[in-house]
């Protein structure tokens, strides 16, 4: 017959080929199958162990109290931030001199997390890390997951300068405690030492015929004087209101005693409801209510607020000792930069005027899975010598954890006043821990949503306290967060 249907003819037109449509359909099916197949090959990014082959320890001698293997390589990763890398390079040179057979693999980066997180996940971290900067890895998690080595051997080793003195006895107050999270082990060695407080220009204060106010009534009087001259009393990093605690927390400690701050850190119920907290919140809110805060402050970031302050638009700013370096290009030479411990309420305060917040910065850690942990600690021991400490202070205008190390070098005005403030404080140095224990609570919740809103006039002190207490309770209940207590 010769008449076949169209479809037949297509099928019969020779070979069974793969039509365009078939091809698409089949490859789609293939794709669907391949998806779960790939899934079964569950080789996760986080898997993989290894790195267990530690370097053999060397012989412990007087010169080498930590028993460093004098042929094992040392890898040192530094945060390349405001302090630069020269101070560490100098310390590395000393290490290489002491162990001539070792070439230290030194690198400096701002991307601590991006560089090192994968290496922690693979179990091959370097031997010493300066875990600092915007990309700091969460210390609580590192400790909680046993990723860090206990630095107690370092602290108990003889110090670099004086074999009769242990390293731990050469450090400034609070440094060792800051490295602890729960119990005795010390996980972190803070190298820099930061003084927090109220920063001001001595020149501006002189021009008002005023001295730094010790009670809140005096503070208000100075602010009123400044306002008459067209100058605001205060400004702060409005976009990052977690700068306010730098002077507010030690004030709370001064008014109500250390226990109040400890209770807050320990997330105890109703810790924020303490009368001292309310009194200090009221005092700060008064600055806003009386118009003593520079207009527009809630919209300024730290640099903008520091610039306005350096230009003389505001008298006081709560800040840390890094401000001298950070704002160096806008602070006039005759500014007379000075820091003071925060103003208290009155003579009924529990602690004397001078009570100040000072604590460690630049956290150095030795990973638990490092190949040469003894080397990492030895490098730290070198850095904690008087010579290295002096080198750091003269190069980057900051104190170190080494107690002393300022004799015989010229200090900048801010640094000098910081040293004086520490002398005045004596043992009255407080060290609130919220900012390293509960970052989100401190910065976002207490800082931005509590204090920031209050100082912008959108919350009353009572409302702010209620809100913050709610956040603290939330954090205390959150099981996904590791909780810490003051020892």
Given the rule CB under 8 A, which residues bind another protein?
Answer: 15, 17-18, 23, 27, 30-31, 34-35, 38-39, 42, 44-49, 113, 117, 120-123, 135, 137-138, 140-142, 144-147, 238-241, 294-301, 304, 308, 313, 439-440, 443-444, 447-449, 452-453, 456, 458, 480
Q: Under DSSP, is residue 155 helix (H, G, I), strand (E, B) or coil?
A: helix
**Which of 179/452 has CB closer to another protein?**
452
- Closest to another protein by CB, 166 vs 443, is 443
Q: Which residues contact 368 (CB under 8 A, 6 or more apart)?
A: 146, 147, 148, 149
What radius of gyration do the chain's Cα atoms show?
Answer: 29
Write down the residue that tokens 């290489």 correspond to. 96
Q: Is 318 helix (H, G, I), strand (E, B) or coil?
A: strand
**How would DSSP label each residue in 198-240?**
EEEEHHHHHHTT----SSHHHHHHHHHHHHHTT-EEE---TTS
Q: Whose Cβ is closer to another protein: residue 1's or residue 18's?
A: 18
Measured from the CB of residue 368, what is the shortest distance to another protein in angstroms?
Answer: 10
The one-character DSSP state at 266 is: T
Closest CB to another protein among residues 114, 270: 114
- What is the closest distance, in whole angstroms, from the C-beta atom of residue 185 to another protein in the complex? 17
Least Å distance, CB 460 to another protein, is 15
For another protein, the closer CB: 294 or 429: 294
Q: How far is the CB of 297 from another protein (least distance, A)?
A: 8
Q: 3-state DSSP call for residue 362?
A: strand
Nearer to another protein, 122 or 215 (CB): 122
Apex 178 CA angle, 175 and 179, nearest 5: 95
CB of 46 to another protein, least distance (A): 5
Q: How far is the CB of 204 from another protein (least distance, A)?
A: 18
Round to whole Å and give the CA distance between 84 and 355: 31
Read off the tokens for 84. Answer: 């630069």
CB of 282 to another protein, least distance (A): 21
Q: Are 320 and 194 in contact (CB under 8 A)?
A: yes
Judge whether 434 and 441 are in contact, CB under 8 Å.
yes
Judged by beta carbon, residue 18 or residue 164, the one nearer another protein is 18
Retrieve residue 249's tokens: 């927390």
How far apart are CB 43 and another protein at their closest, in Å? 10
Dihedral of alpha carbons 169, 173, 177, 179, sign: negative
Q: Is 361 helix (H, G, I), strand (E, B) or coil?
A: strand
Find the helix or strand (DSSP H, E) in which 429 lies: strand 429-430
3-state secondary structure of 7: helix
CB of 452 to another protein, least distance (A): 6
Q: Which is nearer to another protein, 96 or 444 (CB)?
A: 444
Complex with another protein: residue 301 or 346, whichever CB lies closer: 301
Give CA–CA dist 101/97, Å, rounded. 9
| DSSP track, 306-360 | HHHHHTTSEEEEEEETTHHHHTTTTS-TTS-EEEEPPP-S-TT-SS-TT-EEEEE
């Amino acid at each position: 017959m010769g008449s076949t249907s169209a479809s037949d003819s297509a099928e019969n037109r020779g070979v069974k080929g793969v039509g365009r449509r078939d091809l698409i359909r089949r490859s789609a099916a293939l794709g669907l199958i391949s998806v779960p197949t790939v899934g079964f090959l569950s080789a996760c990014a986080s898997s993989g162990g290894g790195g267990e082959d530690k370097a053999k320890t060397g012989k412990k001698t007087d010169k080498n109290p930590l028993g460093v293997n004098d042929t094992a390589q040392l890898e040192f990763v530094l945060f390349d931030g405001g302090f630069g890398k020269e101070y560490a390079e100098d310390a590395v040179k000393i290490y290489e001199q002491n162990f001539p057979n070792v070439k230290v693999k030194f690198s400096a980066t701002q991307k601590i997390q991006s560089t090192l997180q994968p290496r922690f996940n693979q179990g091959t971290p370097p031997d010493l890390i300066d875990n600092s900067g915007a990309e700091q890895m969460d210390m609580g998690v590192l400790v909680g997951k046993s990723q860090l080595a206990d630095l107690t051997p370092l602290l108990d080793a003889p110090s670099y300068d004086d074999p009769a003195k242990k390293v731990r006895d050469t450090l400034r107050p609070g440094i060792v405690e800051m490295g602890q999270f729960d119990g005795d082990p010390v996980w972190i060695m803070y190298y820099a030492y930061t003084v927090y407080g109220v920063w001001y220009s001595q020149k501006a204060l002189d021009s008002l015929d005023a001295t730094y106010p010790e009670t809140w009534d005096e503070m208000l009087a100075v602010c009123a004087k400044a306002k008459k001259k067209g100058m605001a009393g205060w400004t702060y990093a409005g976009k990052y209101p977690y700068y306010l605690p730098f002077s507010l927390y030690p004030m709370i400690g001064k008014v109500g005693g250390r226990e109040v701050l400890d209770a807050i850190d320990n997330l105890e119920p109703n810790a924020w409801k303490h009368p001292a907290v309310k009194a200090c919140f009221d005092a700060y809110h008064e600055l806003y209510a009386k118009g003593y805060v520079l207009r527009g402050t809630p919209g300024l970031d730290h640099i903008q607020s520091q610039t306005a302050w350096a230009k003389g638009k505001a008298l006081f700013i709560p800040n840390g000792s890094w401000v001298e370096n950070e704002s160096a290009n806008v602070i006039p030479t005759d500014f007379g930069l000075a820091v003071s411990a925060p103003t208290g309420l009155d003579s009924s305060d529990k602690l004397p005027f001078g009570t100040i917040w000072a604590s460690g910065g630049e956290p150095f850690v030795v990973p638990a899975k490092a190949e040469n942990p003894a080397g990492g600690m030895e490098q730290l021991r070198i850095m904690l010598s008087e010579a290295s400490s002096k080198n750091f202070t003269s190069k980057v205008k900051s104190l170190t954890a080494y107690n002393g190390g300022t004799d015989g070098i010229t200090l900048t005005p801010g640094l000098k006043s910081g040293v004086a403030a520490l002398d005045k404080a004596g043992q009255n140095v407080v060290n609130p821990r919220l900012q390293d224990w509960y970052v989100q609570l401190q910065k976002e919740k207490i800082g931005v949503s509590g204090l920031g809103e209050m100082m912008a006039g959108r919350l009353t002190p009572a409302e702010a306290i209620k809100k913050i207490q709610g956040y603290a309770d939330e954090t205390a209940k959150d099981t996904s967060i590791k909780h810490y207590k003051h020892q």
